[in-house]
Amino acid sequence: MSAEFRGELQTELKGLAEAGLLRSLPQPGGVRAAGPWIHFASSDYLGLARHPEVIEAGCRAFREQGSGAGASRLLCPDAALHRELETRLASWKRREAALVFSSGYAAAAGTIPALVGRGDLVLLDRLSHASLIDGARASKATVRVFPHNDLAALEAILLRMRAKFRRVLLVTESVFSMDGDTAPLRELVAVKERHRAWCLVDEAHAEGIFGGTGAGLIEALGLEGQVEVELGTLSKALGSGGGFVAGDRELVELLVNRSRSFVYSTALPPPAAAAAQAALALLTSAEGEKRRERLRSLIALWGGGEGDRSAIFPVIYGEERRAVAVAARLREKGIFAPAIRFPTVPKGKARLRISLCAFHTPEEIRRLRSELSREEG
């Protein structure tokens, strides 16, 4: 390594530290079941990542099919495990087909450029996840950002710009990952219908919580089939790893041919695919419903009302250093709730992002609230 190269990197890191934006990886012991911390940063909403049936399914696939797929899906001679998982995901989402990607990021970043390009328009909610933003930028389409959940502003953009473009893709999360609020999906669907647009909805943080079978906010609102593209994840409520897209058969066929993050990525490891399939079976069973009910009760305990909202609760401090300091003091008391800072959230909006899971206890939640109250005092 040249001295100049190292010096440039040190300067970059010093700038991050001075701005209160330097990050480091948590030390071992952060997993709740194996360490001293009570973990309030996980998206394992139903606690299925450590369920014995999920673990055994992954171990069985590991023994029978190995630790890795070895190649892209287009080069794998037999991907029966992946195809079965996709069939079950499509059924769960009440769609014709699904396609599994190596990660949720890959699913988002690879789907948008496969659908739109030069001469098209992408409209993004301002608080959309980075993977959606990156996918929109990579598409070479014209990108416009509308204020968060602002339907009037969205409509105004469409009235001004729709006629100039071949295709228009409206992109949003159903549950926003840093704020925990929900998109007005019924109204968004009505807007896209009026303007002959397509809609892509990322359900990552709604799955396992909303809907009769935990399929997400689209299911809860009865909008199945009215949203062209559904993004989902295997790494949160399904307790494994990977992402997927659900929709029409033609959508999946196009992605197999055009999505670079699918075509050029090694397939999801068999243990992850098997674990996700086992988790999906549990999520849609009576046990899954019990876990959702437990999570809803914990959400209600935190929120002081009904448990009909998401499991994400931001505690906003604004200034980056204050959020970091609060997170550090909580760690000293055995609570892991890391500070979230720019660029994950806007500058001046630093926060603790509290995510509740079915494995938490009421006592743990009361303890966290008590500690946060002391910080406010």
Give me the pLDDT at residue 35, please. Answer: 54
Condensed to tens digits (0 to 9), the pLDDT of residues 115-134 reads 999 999 999 999 999 999 99
Crossing angle of the two packed helices 52-65 and 270-283, in degrees rounded to 10: 150
User: Distance between CA atoms of 325 and 60, rounded to whole angstroms?
Assistant: 44
Q: Given this model, what pLDDT does residue 190 score? A: 97
Domains of the chain: 28-45+311-376 (3.90.1150.10), 52-283 (3.40.640.10)
Mean pLDDT of 8-28: 84
Q: How many CA atoms lie within 13 A of 291 on its CB side?
A: 27
pLDDT value of residue 233: 98
Whole-number pLDDT of residue 34: 45
Identify the pLDDT of residue 164: 97
71, pLDDT greater than 70: yes
As given in the structure block, the two tokens for residue 38 are: 């009570």
Residue 271 CA to residue 75 CA, distance in Å, equals: 19
Q: How confident is the model at residue 377 (pLDDT cuts 50, 70, 90)?
A: low
Question: Considering the entire predicted model, what is its pTM?
Answer: 0.91
- What three-state secondary structure class fits 182? strand
pLDDT at 156 over 90: yes
Confidence tier at 55 by pLDDT (50, 70, 90): very high
pLDDT at 21: 85
Active site residues: 177, 205, 236
Which residues are CB-contacts of 262 (< 8 A; sequence separation ≥ 6)? Answer: 72, 73, 99, 101, 106, 110, 255, 256
Pick the more confident residue, 29 or 356.
356
Q: Is the pLDDT of residue 296 over 60?
A: yes
Structure tokens that stand for 179 in this block: 């704020």
CA distance 132 to 106: 10
Total residue length of the chain: 377
pLDDT band at residue 22 using 50, 70 and 90 as cut-offs = confident
**H or E element: which one contains 124?**
strand 121-125
Please give the full DSSP string across 225-293, using - where no structure is assigned.
TTSSEEEEESSSTT-S--EEEEE-HHHHHHHHHH-HHHHTSBPPPHHHHHHHHHHHHHHTSHHHHHHHH
The secondary element (H helix, E strand) that includes residue 350 is strand 350-355
Looking at the chain, the whole-number percentage of residues with pLDDT higher than 70 is 96
Token reading at 327? 């997170």
pLDDT score, position 306: 67
Q: In what order do the strands lie in the sheet with 312-318?
A: 312-318, 350-355, 339-340
Taking residues 258-276, report their average pLDDT: 96
Q: What is the distance in angstroms between the CA of the first residue and the CA of the last residue of the chain? A: 49
Q: Taking 50 as the threshold, does the pLDDT of residue 313 lie above it?
A: yes
Taking 50 as the threshold, does the pLDDT of residue 280 lie above it? yes
The Cβ of residue 299 has, within 10 Å, a number of other Cβ atoms equal to 22
Percent of the chain with pLDDT over 90: 86
List of residues 6+ apart from 356 with CB closer than 8 A: 40, 45, 295, 298, 299, 302, 311, 313, 365
Q: How confident is the model over 169-198, as a mean pLDDT?
A: 97
- Concatenating the DSSP letter of every residue in 320-344 gives HHHHHHHHHHHHHTTEE--EE-TTT
